[in-house]
Structure 1
Amino acid sequence: MVIADSPLDKDAAGSVAQSDVAYSQLVARIRLVLTVSAVLVAVLDHPGPERANVAALLVLSVYAVLCAAVYLVPRCQPRWTRGKLRHRLDVAVSAAVLAAVGPADIFPLVFLFFAIVVASLRYGLAEGVRVTIATVLLYYVAALVALPELSPARLALHAAVLLAFGRVIAQLGEMHILAARRQALLREMNQVANPRFGIDRSMTAALERVRAFFMADSCLMLLDERDSGGHALRTVRARGPAVAPADPIDPALARAMLPGPPGQVLLYTRPWCRWSALGGCALGHGGELPAWTRHDPVRLRQLAELLGATAFISAPVSFGRGKGRIYVAARTRHLGRGDALFLVRIAEQGLRAIDRIDLLDRIASDAAGLERKKIALDLHDTAIQSYIGLQLGLVALCRKAAPSNPLADDLDKLVTMAADVIAQLRDEASRACGAAPAGDAMFDAALRRQAAQALATYGVEIRIDAGASVALGDRLGAEVLQIVREGISNVCRHTDATKATVALRCSGAMLHIDIINPHGASAPPAFQPRSLSERASALGGAASVRQDGVNGTIVTVEIPL
């Protein structure tokens, strides 16, 4: 495992470690034991004929009291017990320990190594090395001041040994954090697949997690589609859309992105300069040889230029729909062998869960398609035929009524409304028989069509405000369209409003749908839209109603993404 090749988000990993109450309590207990022991040694077993440093002993005593308060009352922790400040304060206190018990005692060294261990286990290699350098410098500057007769060469040798030990401890802490992050990623990959939102959104979310884990610029997946015989490429970049569809690509481009042997794990890092191989590598792992071997550097360099990356790792993937490769590409040289081998685990464990979800989703979609056809036939035989009969009766009634009849205009309006309802029912029946509309453009067009229908039928002007960041995909888009349709219907049928606004926006991992309409001078009584609440609850969200400050009612539906 090559730890130094993989950068880590130390603050994010440290925040996870800090949430472990048992671990924090153990660290607080060790700190208290060390501090109290140092105070007792300074008072009862101070080496040398001179007395202990009173100022240093006072600092140690105050620090011991604070450590006891942190350990006994963990809920009331001061600021210095949180974040990186606590182990850096331990480094500063080690100077007081040195002054109180003397440089010949072991307690200053114990304090120094304790600060290094805590920093490394919480924040990894970089913070561990920084604390190591600071502790060694502080200790030996104090030793030179306290014992000027010591040889500088001997002190330098001791400093080198302590720096080496601190570096090893820091790397062990890095390994601990990296293992925890990898386990967390595999756990999240199993939870990210949600069949309700469709394969596109689930796969995009999974690839985005992979890209963010490796701190790369892009993550790509290329698969050969067995059904169509072509190749589809899905690309996820930083701050990209929430849904990245699989786009068909040219066969020549697909062959360039699928270098052989097909079962090998690839690692490529571009050299520092073209005329030297210094700093670069082109390696393959797996296949017939279970070890890292040299791969064709020319082909991998061309692939890196195609990806627009300085370094990349790639692993084979095998799904029910086909086989292919997953790529993690970066413009920096931080990807290593450990990263490439872990990408294999991601492809075998994390992405396979989404593939199983896709298989179950297709089976459910086929069954739902047959059920929709049956519902469409029932809808035609019951509701549509009944409305056609009602329309024919209204037309016959209009013909009987004289032009001067005061109800003639109302009858004509009823005939028109009946015709619109029949057209809408037939449209619903035809869509139930066919596949779901594809693309966000179809979703936007459906929203505009609903607004136009509300204006034509009820005279209510609906303004659609959908941000550019709203990318829902087919499955979730169909659910959101039903929610918006129900909200518009509630405004048209149950209020006197002549205009309303439907606003959709994505904030983090939440979709917000606001349906806003003015209510005049008097606010309506408190209510809860039952249908919208049930639909939102089925998607894992919730619906709420509030009044704004300008005589408006806002119905908000929140759906987790």
Structure 2
Amino acid sequence: MVIADSPLDKDAAGTVAQWDVAYSQLVARIRLVLTVSAVLVAVLDHAGPDRINVTALLVLSVYAALCAAVYLFPQCQPRWTRGKLRHRLDVAVSAAVVAAVGPAEIFPLVFLLFAIVVASLRYGLAEGVRVTIATVLLYYVAAIITLPDVTPARLLLRAVVLLAFGRVIAQLGEMHILAARRQALLRELSQVANPRFGIDRSMTAALERVRAFFTADSCLLLLGDHDSGGHALRTVRAHGPTVAPADPIDPALARALLPEPPTQVLLFTRAWRCWRAFGGCALGHDSAWAPHDPARLEEVADLLGTTSFISAPVSFGRGKGRIYVATRLRHLGRGDALFLARIAEQGLRAIDRIDLLDRIASDAAGLERKKIALDLHDTAIQSYIGLQLGLVALCRKAEPSNPLAPDLDKLVTMAAEVIAQLRDEAQRACGAAPADDAIFLAALRRQAARAMATYGVEIRIDVGANVTLGDRLGAEVLQIVREGISNVCRHTDATTATVALRCSGAMLHIEIVNAHRGNAPPIFQPRSLSERASALGGAASVRQGGANDTIVTVEIPL
């Protein structure tokens, strides 16, 4: 499962702020004031014995004009005002500020700190540190070139102070972005729960978002069943399936993954191989952080196959358990563990509530389906049985030499197949277990075989390897494909058709293709397919292919 263009990504989270009009205008205003002030200081407050650096002043003047244009005409911003290029240009121009104003003034330091603040608040620690180092180097080099007689100790002191302040500002920017990413994650977790796709898909999507947030290798949810006393483990890994079912696990393994006390938040980091006394930790948090049994947590790390993990208690419905985030490439910290506890307490509660409402709605829908099944049996099925008996009686009256005898036999067979299909639908509506992916594919192939036997239309089923639908969505997609095949068989003269299912990102694409033999049908919109797709949050469309094909496309968000 891949999550793209999400605020959970650090660069994406930093980019959100730069598209805020008010924020961008404030930054542009500050940049304009600083640049104009630098020009005025260089012209009106030049106290040195040498002449003004004309080249540096020209660079500052051009840059001030560009900043004024960006501020006055925000809708016509050039490329350099977008992304990381703008604050990197500020760093480059800071050399001109030093050359024009002089390193002895406090004003160049203010201009340099502004570039560090903008980079840190938008892109976090890494970009802030890069800008800080580049700023210090430019400041030092520009000062040495323009003022060769200046004392190196004074320049070094200012460079060290600027480096220290830049590091602190970059850390503050990282915390600002981290807080925005955490809020975005909690907001997304409250939106992933979708009753029509079932609890498995909603829980898998939530765990994948948690795993992606921590850039971890895996995220696991272990829950105990209050009624049976067993435990089920759900594991989500990078680029895994869109539905990760909860698999029952051995009681001994469940006990190993549920260390005591059950209410503590856990943090474990394996010690460095070279220095066993440094780098590792085994901590538990209830009201405060305290040492935990390192052997016990190291056993859990071995079971997870990881070097660092965090864990928090989870209460989901009547079941209780733990959520784990495990990684081998980075060390998780105390803040990560406490935020995971917040996720378990707040973020997963939305899915828990949706699951409860889903069960209530499912029980009510089950009773309604039973009533519909009884009505279907008493009306349609009984009527078709009467029709079948009448056709059988008519066949017995007809002589074997009657030219209509083969057609009558075919009608009797078709009536028997329709009755069998109606009975199957009635039985399924009465509460039969939902189909998994294997049964889903088998049902598609049976539908294709029925179309071939009844209408002589060859249906080719093409399902992508990454298509994993689950029970709820699989049942809905099966109805959509059945309706599409029925439309091809009953309303076209095609002898072949193709049904293709593909998953692309967070979208399921269903294509039903049939040839129209050069006679393109009039523009139409399949009403039933459109209504079913709309009920799932998707849409249906019809287009003409390049090889005399009519292509019905149904897109459903996952």
TM-score bracket for this pair, using the shorter chain length: over 0.9
| Deviation at residue 148 of structure 1 after TM alignment | 3.1
Partner of 1:501: 498
2:260 match: secondary structure: coil
| Deviation at residue 549 of structure 1 after TM alignment | 0.7
Deviates more, 1:187-196 or 1:224-233: 224-233
Count residues in correspondence: 551
Give me the whole-angstrom Cα distance separating, in 2, the residues matched to 1:88 and 1:473: 48
The answer to whether the 8 Å contact 1:91/1:115 transfers is: yes
Partner of 2:104: 104
The answer to whether the 8 Å contact 2:10/2:181 transfers is: no
Give me the whole-angstrom Cα distance separating, in 1, the residues matched to 2:146 and 2:43: 19
| Deviation at residue 321 of structure 1 after TM alignment | 3.4
Partner of 2:463: 466
| Deviation at residue 155 of structure 1 after TM alignment | 2.7
Give me the whole-angstrom Cα distance separating, in 1, the residues matched to 2:368 and 2:274: 62
The answer to whether the 8 Å contact 1:47/1:102 transfers is: no
Partner of 2:132: 132
Is 1:15 the counterpart of 2:15 in the alignment? yes
The answer to whether the 8 Å contact 2:377/2:423 transfers is: yes
Give me the whole-angstrom Cα distance separating, in 2, the residues matched to 1:321 and 1:474: 23
One of 313, 318, 328 as aligned partner of 2:315: 318
The answer to whether the 8 Å contact 1:47/1:101 transfers is: no
1:328 match: secondary structure: strand
Partner of 2:70: 70
One of 520, 523, 526 as aligned partner of 1:526: 523
Is 1:408 the counterpart of 2:405 in the alignment? yes
Q: Deviations over 1:132-187 (max 9, x none)?
A: 11111111222223333333333323222211111111111011000000000000
Q: Deviations over 1:336-376 (max 9, x none)?
A: 00000000110011101001101111111111111111111
The answer to whether the 8 Å contact 1:463/1:500 transfers is: yes
Q: Which runs of 4+ in 1 moved over 6 A?
A: none
Distance 1:225-1:94 versus aligned 2 partners, 3 A rule: same
The answer to whether the 8 Å contact 1:10/1:122 transfers is: no
2:103 match: secondary structure: coil
Distance 1:274-1:58 versus aligned 2 partners, 3 A rule: closer
Q: Deviations over 1:462-493 (max 9, x none)?
A: 11111111111111111111110100000000
Is 1:381 the counterpart of 2:378 in the alignment? yes
Q: Deviations over 1:210-241 (max 9, x none)?
A: 00000000000000012332100000000000
| Deviation at residue 12 of structure 1 after TM alignment | 2.0
1:209 match: secondary structure: helix
| Deviation at residue 449 of structure 1 after TM alignment | 1.2
| Deviation at residue 9 of structure 1 after TM alignment | 4.3
Q: Deviations over 1:18-64 (max 9, x none)?
A: 22122111111111111111112222222224332111111111111
Is 1:141 the counterpart of 2:141 in the alignment? yes
Is 1:301 the counterpart of 2:301 in the alignment? no
**1:10-49, aligned counterparts within 5 Å?**
10-49=10-49
Give me the whole-angstrom Cα distance separating, in 1, the residues matched to 2:68 and 2:147: 33
Is 1:254 the counterpart of 2:251 in the alignment? no
| Deviation at residue 385 of structure 1 after TM alignment | 0.8
Give me the whole-angstrom Cα distance separating, in 1, the residues matched to 2:347 and 2:395: 66
**1:382-531, aligned counterparts within 5 Å?**
382-531=379-528
Distance 1:274-1:248 versus aligned 2 partners, 3 A rule: farther
The answer to whether the 8 Å contact 2:458/2:495 transfers is: yes
Is 1:209 the counterpart of 2:206 in the alignment? no
1:234 match: secondary structure: strand
Name the amino acid aligned to 1:502: V
Give me the whole-angstrom Cα distance separating, in 2, the residues matched to 1:537 and 1:13: 31
Give me the whole-angstrom Cα distance separating, in 2, the residues matched to 1:270 and 1:481: 48
Partner of 1:237: 237
Give me the whole-angstrom Cα distance separating, in 1, the residues matched to 2:190 and 2:467: 25
Q: Deviations over 1:242-297 (max 9, x none)?
A: 000000000000000000100000000000128723111000001xxx11111111
Name the amino acid aligned to 2:302: E
The answer to whether the 8 Å contact 2:9/2:181 transfers is: no
Partner of 1:334: 331
Instruction: State the superposition RMSD in angstroms.
Output: 1.3
Distance 1:275-1:108 versus aligned 2 partners, 3 A rule: closer
2:468 match: secondary structure: coil
The answer to whether the 8 Å contact 2:136/2:163 transfers is: yes
The answer to whether the 8 Å contact 1:223/1:323 transfers is: yes
The answer to whether the 8 Å contact 1:269/1:333 transfers is: no
2:537 match: secondary structure: coil
Is 1:50 the counterpart of 2:50 in the alignment? yes
Partner of 1:4: none
Partner of 1:547: 544
Structure 2: unaligned runs, 5 residues or longer: 1-7
Name the amino acid aligned to 1:462: I
Partner of 2:5: none
Give me the whole-angstrom Cα distance separating, in 1, the residues matched to 2:36 and 2:330: 47
The answer to whether the 8 Å contact 1:116/1:169 transfers is: yes
Deviates more, 1:99-108 or 1:170-179: 99-108
Distance 1:352-1:148 versus aligned 2 partners, 3 A rule: same
Partner of 1:59: 59
Partner of 2:193: 193
Name the amino acid aligned to 1:52: I
Give me the whole-angstrom Cα distance separating, in 2, the residues matched to 1:125 and 1:555: 49
Partner of 1:5: none
Q: Deviations over 1:91-124 (max 9, x none)?
A: 1101111111222222211110000000000110
Give me the whole-angstrom Cα distance separating, in 1, the residues matched to 2:274 and 2:249: 30
Name the amino acid aligned to 2:317: G
1:434 match: secondary structure: coil
| Deviation at residue 202 of structure 1 after TM alignment | 0.2
TM-score for both structures, normalised by structure 2: 0.97
Structure 1: unaligned runs, 5 residues or longer: 1-7
Deviates more, 1:267-276 or 1:492-501: 267-276
One of 349, 353, 356 as aligned partner of 1:356: 353
Name the amino acid aligned to 1:170: A
